[in-house]
Amino acid sequence: MYLLLNNYKIIINNLLLTALLIFFQSYFPSITTSEELLLIKFDFLLIYLIYLSFLYRVYLIIVFAFFIGIFQDLLVQSDTVGLYSFLKVLFVYFIGYLKDSNKIWNGKFKVSFLLILIFSHSFLYHYIFINDINYYSIFYILIESLMNLILLIIIDKVIYNGKIF
């Protein structure tokens, strides 16, 4: 009975933290670019999904990422329902691949792999939603990806004592 209650506590804590991150991400300031539809902002839910992927089994986090993506689709973009959920599931799947090969890759390669994943997640979202990609938008997406990666590394070093890197 205690183990069952302990599992419920973990689920409830993760759901409350997710709700807090959704609230925090929606009210966190963003940088408006010269392109009218591009905003440079931190993606706290993506960083949270990375840590959940390293802490729990990946197939559970894939289902969780799907529901987070559907919620973001309904909250942010009702025009592209399913885009965020597909991108989040694909992202968590590749993070699971990073988790499986965590011991054989060095830190620089893991950082490069995460940067490519974060950049491709943002790029695919902006490419499908905006339908117009130019050099400025690629530059802004790269800056956003670097900001998210730096925040990920800082959180990893401060809170999790280097569990990923």
- What is the chain's mean pLDDT, rounded? 84
Lowest-confidence region among 6-15, 121-130, 139-148: 6-15
Residue 15: what pLDDT? 83
Residue 62: what pLDDT? 93
The tally of domains found in the chain comes to 1
- CA–CA separation, 35 vs 147, rounded Å? 19
Contact call for residues 150 and 139 (beta carbons, < 8 A): no
Q: Return the higher-pLDDT residue of 71 and 129.
A: 71
Q: Is residue 164 part of a domain?
A: no
Residue 86: half-sphere exposure toward Cβ, Cα within 13 Å? 8
> By residue range, what is the domain housing residue 16?
2-158
Report the CATH number at residue 99.
Answer: 1.10.1760
Question: Is the model's pLDDT at 162 over the cut of 80?
Answer: no
- φ, ψ for residue 103, nearest 5 deg: -80, -25
For 76-120, how does the pLDDT look when each residue is reduced to its tens digit (9 = 90+)? 777 778 888 899 999 999 999 988 887 888 889 999 999 999 999
Q: Is residue 163 part of a domain?
A: no
